Structure 1
Amino acid sequence: MTQALKYETASSGETQALAARLGEIVQSGDVLCLSGDLGAGKTTFTQGLARGLGIEEPVSSPTFTIIKEYDDGRIPLYHMDIYRLGEAAVQEDLGYDEYFYGEGVSVIEWYGFLEELIPEDRLELHITLAEGDGRRLRFTATGPHATARLKELEQLCPTSH
């Protein structure tokens, strides 16, 4: 069963606040797949998610390191940016399973390059630019755990969709 939820934010601060609410409810083993054009706000969203997890360390894009781990929150955050690896990402032995099935939440920017390795039960987020500094966010849950998380988010942050 696939469930979707849409939000529109007016600023990067609102985008981060929505992400922080999600960060308050994500659980170990949750996988969040981010897509959107360059500059759409994937890292901005992840910064808000980290804040919701209680992570105080600055969060930046792992474009050159591919994977960054943040362990000082409620649960660990594994932030991946697969853009530089491209289609070669599936051949790289970076221990993806240890992250996807680990103690923390995995956030994957440019997840399309890794799609065949990512768990089927995941929360996908597509971000597009809106007017001004705003963003349109479309969450899609692809399994029971992701659907439960999406329902929790909708209770915390109601939307008209």
Structure 2
Amino acid sequence: MSGTQWQVEAADEAAMVALGRGLAAVAQPALVVHLEGDLGMGKTTFSRGFIQGLGHEGAVKSPTYTLVEPYQLGQLEVFHFDLYRLGDPEELEFMGVRDYFREDAVCLVEWPGRGAGILPPPDIGINIVPAGLGRRLDIRAATVLGDTVLGRWRRRHLSH
């Protein structure tokens, strides 16, 4: 079924943006991506590459205070969550979080552990850790959709 894993390194911010763009190029509706890693590891930088890769031309800021930032990109809606400042996972219920995880949307979630028990599980989980002067992304697929998208992402990355 699922469980595909991949490790890839990003030497700098430009490489992290490029990886986000690469995932955007193969993403499909209903995809849920969890982004984990300590402060400053590049979760928002990756998200910026993803959202810009889908055609957004403006700034992509971390929704640290609003918790979620919506982007309408053609037929696809992307919801970028940053749960760093979430006090209690129950707050997600009050904001109607389940309404965001739809078949016609893609959800990127930074700090998903803070929404444990409320958030749906990811299709793809990405943990970003230091690697020399850059970062290493430990990527795992957790669903059939995640396997499909991760396979396309790897093939695209290796062909460039």
What TM-score, normalized to structure 1? 0.90
CA–CA distance in structure 1, aligned partners of residues 146 and 76 of structure 2: 17
Aligned residue in 2 for 1:24: 25
Per mean C-alpha deviation after superposition, the further-off stretch among 20-29 and 89-98 is 89-98
CA RMSD of aligned residues (A): 1.7
1:79-158 map, 5 Å: 79-86=80-87, 88-92=88-92, 93-120=94-121, 122-132=123-133, 134-158=134-158
Aligned residue in 2 for 1:9: 10
1:31-70 map, 5 Å: 31-70=32-71
Per mean C-alpha deviation after superposition, the further-off stretch among 113-122 and 144-153 is 113-122
CA–CA distance in structure 2, aligned partners of residues 102 and 96 of structure 1: 14
**Aligned-residue identity in percent:** 32
Query: Post-superposition shift, 1:90?
Result: 3.1
Matched-pair contact (CA < 8 Å) for 1:99–1:106: yes
Matched-pair contact (CA < 8 Å) for 2:89–2:116: no
Query: Post-superposition shift, 1:73?
Result: 4.7
CA–CA distance in structure 2, aligned partners of residues 50 and 74 of structure 1: 14
Query: Post-superposition shift, 1:34?
Result: 0.5
CA–CA distance in structure 2, aligned partners of residues 36 and 73 of structure 1: 30
CA–CA distance in structure 2, aligned partners of residues 18 and 139 of structure 1: 12
Secondary structure class of the residue paired with 1:158:
helix
- Residues 115 and 148 of structure 1: is their aligned pair in 2 closer, same or farther, counting only changes over 3 Å? farther
Secondary structure class of the residue paired with 1:137:
strand
Matched-pair contact (CA < 8 Å) for 1:70–1:76: yes
Secondary structure class of the residue paired with 2:34:
strand
